[in-house]
Amino acid sequence: MLKKIFNFFRKKSNIATLKKRVLWVGGYAVRYWKEMLFYTILGLSGTALSLISSLVSKDLVDIITGHQTGKLVTTFIFMICMTLGSTLVTQISGYFSSKINLRVENTIRNEIFEKILSADWERLSKYHTGDLLARWGNDISSLSNAVLSYIPNAIVYLFRFGAAFAIMAKHDFSFALIAMAGMPFSYFISRNLTRRMQRNNMRSSVMNAKMSGFNQEAFSNIQTIKAFDMIGHYVKRLKELQNEYVKMRLNYQKVYIVISMLLTLVGLGVTNFSYGWGIYRVWSGAITYGTMTMFLSLSGTLSGTLNSLLSLIPSGISITTSASRLMDLVELEKEDFSEKEEVREFCKNHGSSGVGLEVKDVEYSYLNGNKVYENVSITANPQEIVALIGPSGQGKTTMLRLLLALIKPQAGEAYLVGEGGNKMKLTASVRQIISYVPQGNTMFSGTIAENMRNVKEDATDEEIIDALKSACAWEFVEKLPEGINSPIMERGGGFSEGQAQRLSIARAFLRRSPILLLDEATSALDPETAKQLLKNITEDKYPRTCILTTHRPAMLRGCDRVYRIADKHCHELSKEEILEVINT
């Protein structure tokens, strides 16, 4: 009894989940009701012309067999006009369908792209990049097709089915019953196929994401794969994934073939019986040859339309599966960008004196439970260079993420601090006044100038060159044949790690933000270049607050204050402790 109750509530939960997905897709569909209406009208027009052609075809056969030559030419011309009209409507429908579908797909793709980028960083980071690409690509295409065509197609198919059946029933009801004979069996088979498709679609989506992720990682790390001589290993892994995917698809395909054969046999049985019955009815004088021809044509229309209607079931399952995967992303907690104007005003009011940062009594743990901080406090004032040091994996980069509001502390607060002690809580809105240089190579494909203008669209060539000089990058950029218009390949290809790092720093300088965060930004620079870089920051009269993380003791000579982060705690080093670190 308990098991039955459990299954009942489980089914109710499934229905509620399905309803939620359908309503979510419906929310997009409502926005494009005009396009859907237009598409539906075109479909209904094409169906009407096709059915009229069947009636004209009947008359034409009856005219020929009855030797009614007087009506032959007129009927023949009318039939040609109907055929041309049907063809024209089909072509127009195809053109506008493609045009509308592309527009709808691009609109939905842009909207969901923005929602993904605006999602909470930590929760979004649990998804593999390959999985995100699969959802943003395949699932959005499935959704856009559904928004435009699913409901119109259902209406058109129902109209075609009903109209064909009505015409057959009007001329000879027995034929209509024969045409419907195989439908209960087709429905039973489709239900079985539907259940299997639900499971297959989910497995297929997961497998596609897995393969997409593997490919993305492999292509992004070709250098590492080559360096460790892992080509054979990765080719072997790809084959294993492919074999797993092929096995899954073939298992489903076997079932699909059996079901398709059964449906085909049922269709052949109905068709052949229709032929036999039609011959008998013509022989008995109950119907004309033209009527039999029309019946056979409409019988094919009925069976074809029924299959089309049944195909909407697996299509609907595929759509709701895609909707579920997209909903997982768009329903993630969103970052707070609501205070952009307030941040701009805060920065403007304290522009001459600068904006500092304060972290007070912060506690933080990642979503996996890994605790990073306990009662951590840090202060950084304008025109200061503050260094964060400590062992790897103890929370230096995490602190910069906290200052960027990529993550939120479970306790304590982080603030912008202005003159007179004015404070403003850190949210995602503060990123507009922060320049950031992350670890590793973060240059995009394009030209040097395009990379620079990613952070300041209206930057002049002179401003770009000044930023390159401040980052000690102009010395090699000016020697390039195309200067700042020289191309950068994917992941900074074409430049050394040190050069790419200086270009990243120049990009941060170009933005000219009151706060500069450098995460191991000098790790690939030689000591002299790193020293010159700090000197350039120090000598700049712009009231900038700079926080950097580093493993290089020599970098601490140019810093105003140093914090050590270790064992979930943080404390400011005295001058003696700083000298001790420098001399070790």
The whole-number pLDDT of residue 476 equals 92
Angle at 524 between CA 521 and CA 527, to 5 degrees: 95
Mean pLDDT score, 543-555: 89
Q: How do residues 375-415 score in pLDDT, each as one tens digit?
A: 999 999 998 999 999 888 888 999 999 999 998 999 999 99
pTM to 2 decimals? 0.73
pLDDT > 70? residue 2: no
Set out the domains of the chain in order of their start, with CATH numbers: 2-330 (1.20.1560.10), 340-583 (3.40.50.300)
DSSP lists the bridge partners of residue 388 as: 549, 563
Using N-to-C axis directions, what is the helix angle for 527-539 and 497-511, rounded to 10°? 0
The whole-number pLDDT of residue 583 equals 85
Q: How far is CA 326 from CA 124, 142, 399, 471, in A?
A: 12, 11, 31, 41
Q: How far is CA 579 from CA 13, 271, 575, 576, 584, in A?
A: 64, 94, 6, 5, 9
DSSP 8-state symbol, 517: E
Is the pLDDT higher at 513 or at 142? 513
pLDDT > 90? residue 527: no
DSSP lists the bridge partners of residue 42 as: none
Q: What is the band of 351 on the pLDDT scale with cuts at 50, 70, 90?
A: confident
Q: What is the band of 189 on the pLDDT scale with cuts at 50, 70, 90?
A: low
Tokens representing 392 are: 């790897």
Q: What is the band of 202 on the pLDDT scale with cuts at 50, 70, 90?
A: low
Question: Residue 63 CB: number of other CB atoms within 10 A?
Answer: 19
Mean pLDDT score, 58-67: 66
Q: Mean pLDDT across the chain, nearest whole number?
A: 81
Map residue 471 onto helix, strand or coil: coil
Q: What is the band of 54 on the pLDDT scale with cuts at 50, 70, 90?
A: confident
pLDDT > 60? residue 540: yes
Question: Residue 143 CB: number of other CB atoms within 10 A?
Answer: 24
**Which residues, other chains included, contact 320 with Cβ-Cβ below 8 Å and sequence gap of 6+?**
18, 21, 22, 25
Q: How far is CA 230 from CA 7, 218, 221, 222, 225, in A?
A: 49, 10, 11, 10, 5
